Structure 1
Amino acid sequence: MTGRLVVLLCALAAVVLAGGADPSTTPAPFKCSTEYGLFSDPDDCHSFYECNEFIPFHFTCPDNLGFDDAAHECNYMPSCK
């Protein structure tokens, strides 16, 4: 579990350093499938959820970037318009 937390924190740091994702301050209506993790927003390819102890928090990638579910980071995504 400690290893997963380190990976999650590193991924979140990479997103923030890549352009400063803007987190919302209230939990979103997304249901976390695991206790910790990053998950694409099913309604918006420019956004993602971070789950922390099964509590989801919504983030939006910087302009012109989409959430890359495989890399768990905001990235240039030509298919995300």
Structure 2
Amino acid sequence: MKSPTTPFWKIVAWVEDRQLKAAGFVLDQSDEIQAHGPITQEISFGSYRPRPIAETQDRTGLQFPELVHVDTFR
């Protein structure tokens, strides 16, 4: 099971005007969990922040070379 302070990431790819585009996001809930303590009621779990896909590659060891090239947040 993941630690509650482990960031989550996602990469979204789409075609716009016949061109591939992509964006990467990271969600880190550390601040919210620290501020609220154990979850006993519904709380906001934070928001996704745009991050370069190259950063996700560096942090995970996964490779997305085609998506890094079309990253909208690079």
Interval of TM-score (by shorter of Structure 1 and Structure 2) = 0.3 to 0.5
Greater share of residues in helix: 2
Flag the structure with larger Rg: 2
Relative contact order: is structure 1 or structure 2 higher (C-alpha 8 Å, sep ≥ 6)? 2
TM-score by structure 2 length? 0.36
TM-score by structure 1 length? 0.34
